[in-house]
A and B are shown apart, each in its own frame.
Chain A
């Protein structure tokens, strides 16, 4: 790989999302294929030109200008047969204004606005989740098709197919920011989608691979873009941003050398990256200055912060975590959160109450086929020293579900708890 190839690769990563957003804005979302073509063309022109001559002093600006000039050419050539962006069409059709209109769209503040529009459209509910992650990586994060196929273990043909299908889905939509009355709902969707992107990296099969950490960092960067826009960001945006920081801080301690996850009480806390934790804490402080809309992620971040700030597992402020779960459950009514709260309650010493709560959750329709309540009961009963019951429940839980590794972890934990009952 030559230096120029490498440079082009880097520029694709950092510039392609911006260029695609602005080109889509000018041509209209119905012409997103054309925008994609112009983008690719600009990069192949760069490759040829830089190899033949020399790399320009400001390569990113060179690409921008090239894409802009190509957009002008396309508009001039195709205006009789192609309808471009509706609200710009008068300006694009007149030579009095065409060049300046396109130039203005290529200005930084406008491009940021376009990228924001792109985030919203990428999170539109009409796109299927498995296509969406591919499309986001390509469109918002500037991953090449090859990089996506390697990271998600898909063939390049599958990646291309999903990209194509997604573009078709988007064409009838409007490339606008949501209106005020739809904003809060749209932001909820965006938060969830970006959290899924983060988790795709965080919980991937090989979390030590650099690309998976990159997914997490991309998700963080996209949330940062939202935060920089007071028009759209709300308390949950900040909460999500903080939560991602608390989680990524612990990424290196999460798994052992074979890639198996390590439970929280056995993680080497010196591997937790304090810088991320500090940033997360700073962001949570900002949360209180923002209007509360819906604060699911904010509350999750508060809980994560408590774990991050405990010097040892034993130092964890469990009663505060129980309180935070109260708020979280009020908001989400999540049965899984109720289970987690029961565990936290058990660690405050209220073991009997905790066990009762888990028992009453066993019949919840979302948990009735899950091995989790039994595994948790086994854990809590081991803490009370009820060895026989704990092993019974563990055995039962294993029969219902969980991976082999999870089973091994559970049994090891039971042994530890029974050897030093609290």
Chain B
């Protein structure tokens, strides 16, 4: 078993404003179900959280730029950390993730490296 971070990219910055309370609740319930299923199989490390589309980027030499100028589809918009036997299983789990209910999403599945 290895840890995998699911990195959610893209989405819709106006999603919160454009989504009704009921839709929001329904979406959260799907997250609950997905996390619950993983937790039962002891494969949920952390449900993670969504990320705001604003923020700063700092370069090596200390230059700070506003993230809002970055391309939306490259912006990380959330994450979760799971456990899986291999990248294939992690990918299969990621495919079931409710993040795909949001528009214009891509998910990166990245093994957490064990160092040392």
Contacts and interface: CB of A to CB of B under 8 A. Distances in A.
A217 interface: no
B59 interface: no
Contacts of B50: 95-96
22 contacts: A90-B35, A90-B39, A90-B44, A90-B46, A90-B47, A91-B32, A91-B36, A91-B47, A94-B31, A94-B35, A94-B47, A96-B28, A96-B35, A96-B48, A96-B49, A96-B78, A97-B31, A97-B47, A99-B28, A100-B29, A100-B32, A101-B32
Nearest to B39: A90
A139 to B, nearest CB: 29
A348 interface: no
Contacts of B29: 100, 104
A123 B32 CA distance: 33
B44 A100 contact: no
B70 interface: no
A93 B32 contact: no
A99 B21 CA distance: 12
A97 B35 contact: yes
A100 B24 CA distance: 9
A392 B95 CA distance: 92
B47 A93 contact: yes
A103 interface: yes
Interface string B75-101: 000101000000000000000001000
Contacts of A96: 28, 31, 35, 47-50, 78, 80, 98
Contacts of B44: 90
If over half of A's interface residues share one DSSP class (helix, strand or loop), that class is named, otherwise mixed; here it is helix
Interface string A87-121: 00011011111011101100000000000000000
Nearest 8 pairs between A and B by C-beta? A94-B47, A100-B28, A95-B49, A96-B31, A97-B32, A97-B31, A96-B47, A90-B39
A28 to B, nearest CB: 17
B101 to A, nearest CB: 12
A104 B25 CA distance: 10
Contacts of B80: 94, 96
A104 B36 CA distance: 14
- Which of B25, B32, B35, B49 has most A Cβ within 10 Å? B32
Nearest to A100: B28
Interface residues on A, range: 10 to 19
A97 B46 CA distance: 11
Interface of A: 90-91, 93-97, 99-101, 103-104
A99 B46 CA distance: 16
Contacts of B49: 94-96
Contacts of B28: 96-97, 99-100
B6 to A, nearest CB: 11
A102 to B, nearest CB: 10
Contacts of B98: 96
Nearest to A91: B32
- Which of A91, A96, A103, A104 has most B Cβ within 10 Å? A96
A360 B32 CA distance: 67
Nearest to B47: A94
A186 to B, nearest CB: 27
A229 B78 CA distance: 41
Contacts of B46: 90, 93-94
Contacts of A99: 28
Interface in B30-46: 31-32, 35-36, 39, 44, 46
A103 B80 CA distance: 22
Contacts of A103: 25
A363 B46 CA distance: 68
Nearest to B45: A90
A94 B25 contact: no
Contacts of B36: 91
A91 B47 CA distance: 7
A414 to B, nearest CB: 72
B25 to A, nearest CB: 6
A91 B25 contact: no
A93 B46 CA distance: 8
Nearest to B34: A96
Nearest to A95: B49
A100 B48 CA distance: 15
A146 to B, nearest CB: 40
A96 B31 CA distance: 6
Contacts of A93: 46-47
B34 to A, nearest CB: 9
B110 to A, nearest CB: 18
A165 B48 CA distance: 38
A155 B50 CA distance: 51
Nearest to A94: B47
Contacts of A94: 31, 35, 46-49, 80
